[in-house]
Chains A and B, each alone.
Chain A
């Protein structure tokens, strides 16, 4: 029994077969144009291990039936064989016509799992049962109702910053009885931006006392903000005497205080770390600055951004870091 299972295992199309098919698909078809509809030539059907075992069982039943001329056993064997054959067709039919309508994703930090969202649409008025989207790292499964879409989130671990391509994945099912596996290989063009991994223990934010580009808070302070009409109660030392004399009217000076000092994240002002390390530290600083609400500017040998705050600014900065040197 064990040796039989081992033999079956060896006969099973293994990773080599998968690679061969992948190569073939790459040469023949290349990356799909979205939306991409699965057609008959895109779908492979092979018996599963259980299917091979079931076939062996049917062969035994049939040979036994032939030998003893036991017609009911023969009928049983033939009907089951016909059913098995039919399920290969059903497995194929469960995939054919499914449309890959789009793939999107959001950036991640190196070391995190990128989640590629794969949108499959079932344009036909019938159910697609247990459609699996399988990559080397994750498996997602879902039923797709008639004329409905489903979103499969494929996870893929990221290791280095930069663009990460989504690896080829399979649409697959073993519907309905698990005797056959129908699958199609998709070589996608989707990619995910991977930011440098934020340094675990970054040096403190480099602060300047300048708040030129910061959003200042009007009111008391040392920096001049502007003028307004004098109102009773304004302190005398705030009155802009010179301007008031020129215009025959009393004006008060409005002063301002920078809310926080802006910080300048400058590649050249950092120590002597390795470039990748610098990028990690910069990424960590960006996150810290965002968390504290401190505006920050970025200066890299290749690119620079003026000080700013907010998601958009953060993503722009991180993108510069991610693509540094590429």
Chain B
């Protein structure tokens, strides 16, 4: 039973980490109860109590997730129900149900993430689950005769057994994986009503929203460039674009989301051609460099150059992208858009308004004014810092005149507001900036901590132009990435070598994504095309699969046979063989026909220095074999382990 609990606990662990505290408690309480009940032989709970707890849990779940449907809610429901099943688990049937559902729970976890840690998780779940099933099976077999299973079926042997099973099954599983006919299009969609998008950029920007990502070193996307790769200062991965400023928060606009961009001319050789592996973000937007020219499958490019996908990205997504960095965005600005890009809440930030009015009088040229504001950030006592003080109602005033320290979103927000005050249309763009280039893997790794916010201002004839006010305060931020900008370590493990190791490990992760997670009907077809088979029907695939299985079987069977018979042998016999080998090394040859006690007397003559030990071992061995009260096998093992024959001095 303990193994069943362990199997379930391991299977639900990633899910538990994603849940809220009350739901976590709902999972952990039945587990604790079951462990205590097993240890102290408690009686099962009354039916009424169990049903009450179940109903209560359903209500709590429905409140937490706003319903019981959708991926997150239903997986949580499954987890909680399985945990509650532990309350009512007196029979082997129930225990088996829980253990087998553990595998299912494990499969549902892959709907959320599929990184390499999940591989370790999956393997552990399988091994522990199999061990639980093996123990339940023994329990069931011996339960019928009311006998305790014999001690041979120890925990250890069950684990090694499960490991062996897994080891033998993996090649077969891989053959299935490669050759099993795939579906090019899904039969049904992903039901999802509650996306919590726990990390990553969000669809609003307020002070602190990007700063909170700074601690998160998990990968956001990886990009492989086919041709030339851009320099660090061009690596602005464009995400959500914000037009509306209200209550110190930026939000997108209906126009921005719903009007598509016209056809963007390709820049030929100057274009960047790359493919992006986007980690699941549970959001709709895809990231691209300025300016995306082709929309990937199922997505569109909006007029403010967001690439929006029809469904949220729930699993690793790979898409090809081509960007034209020379494109001029809207040399003419429509009046509605201009009005939108100048809109500001009335009666707020009077001091900034006054300052901008003065500066606008002094420097009427927009470009010069922008320069002046940036210089102001650069030369005055502004700090780029994680510890940004809270801002009041007049947030821009507070920031500009009082606190003067903040993260990129503070600067971007303040800058955009100042521009609007000066009559220059502006919008805020969020996304990622920079990325770590893996020389080994030849790709850019962009982490969540690279999240960034910048501003685009509209200038006549030049169109929308990117201005990064953060760069004015802290040029290192753009040149060296987000970590370059701050000297203090972010957390306890923030050392160079840790980051280096993490980047190295990421190469593994990228390969894993590339080869395993991205394998699809198309990759399968490509693989066969590479092998010279242009089209292979599902029936053909099945035939190929079985041929592969036969080949694997022929290779594995002898190995399996040896492993199986080796593991099942008598441990004492093996120890005895080891003992004979040691004697042989010392120069004494043991005829196989001689018995243990004969050996002892023969060795006493040829190896007098060891006669005491040898006769002890021989006596143990024959007692183990023939006595009604055999000694523990461990005793013989110990004796043989400590046996080091001394060669006779005189030959």
Contact = CB atoms under 8 A, between A and B. Distances in A.
A75 B180 CA distance: 11
Contact of A74 (B168, B177, B568): B177
Interface string B54-83: 000000000000000000000000000000
Contacts of B104: 57, 60-61
Contacts of B176: 78, 81-82
Contacts of B520: 69
B483 interface: no
Contacts of B96: 50, 178
Interface of B: 93, 96, 100-101, 103-104, 106-108, 110-111, 114, 118-119, 122, 126, 130, 133-134, 136-138, 140-142, 144-145, 147, 149-150, 152-153, 161, 165-166, 168-170, 172-174, 176-177, 180, 182-183, 186-188, 190, 315, 516-521, 564-565, 568-570
A93 B565 CA distance: 11
A141 B137 contact: no
A256 interface: no
B126 A76 contact: yes
A177 B161 CA distance: 11
Nearest to A60: B104
Contacts of A64: 107
A174 B140 CA distance: 9
Interface string A25-45: 000000000000000000000
Contacts of A61: 103-104, 107
Contacts of A71: 114, 177, 516-519
Interface string A57-68: 100110011111
Nearest to A56: B100
A183 to B, nearest CB: 13
Contacts of A300: none
A140 interface: yes
B517 A72 contact: yes
A76 B122 contact: yes
Nearest to B520: A69
Contact of B569 (A79, A143, A146, A178): A146
14 contacts: A67-B186, A72-B122, A75-B122, A79-B169, A83-B169, A85-B172, A86-B169, A86-B172, A125-B568, A143-B152, A176-B134, A177-B133, A177-B134, A178-B140
Q: Chain A contact residues (Cβ within 8 angstroms of B): what range?
A: 35 or more
A145 B183 CA distance: 49
Contact of B103 (A76, A139, A178): A76
Contacts, number: 156
Contact of A130 (B108, B114, B137, B165): B137
A324 interface: no
Grouping DSSP codes into helix (H, G, I), strand (E, B) and loop, the B interface class, with mixed when no group exceeds half, is: helix
A76 B110 contact: yes
Nearest to B519: A71
Closest 6 CB pairs of A and B: A79-B173, A126-B568, A82-B169, A82-B172, A78-B176, A130-B141
A126 B161 contact: no
Nearest to B104: A57
Contacts of A86: 165, 168-169, 172
B103 A70 contact: no
Instruction: Give the residue among B119, B168, B172, B569 with the most A Cβ atoms within 10 A.
Output: B172
Given A50-B96, A61-B107, A79-B169, A72 B134 contact: no
Interface string A214-233: 00000000000000000000
Interface in A111-135: 125-127, 129-130, 132
A80 interface: yes
Contact of A73 (B107, B149, B169): B107
Contacts of A54: 100
A283 to B, nearest CB: 32
Given A70-B114, A78-B177, A139-B144, 20 more contacts: A50-B93, A65-B107, A65-B110, A66-B180, A67-B186, A69-B182, A72-B110, A72-B114, A76-B126, A79-B126, A81-B176, A83-B165, A86-B172, A93-B564, A143-B153, A146-B570, A175-B141, A177-B130, A178-B137, A178-B140
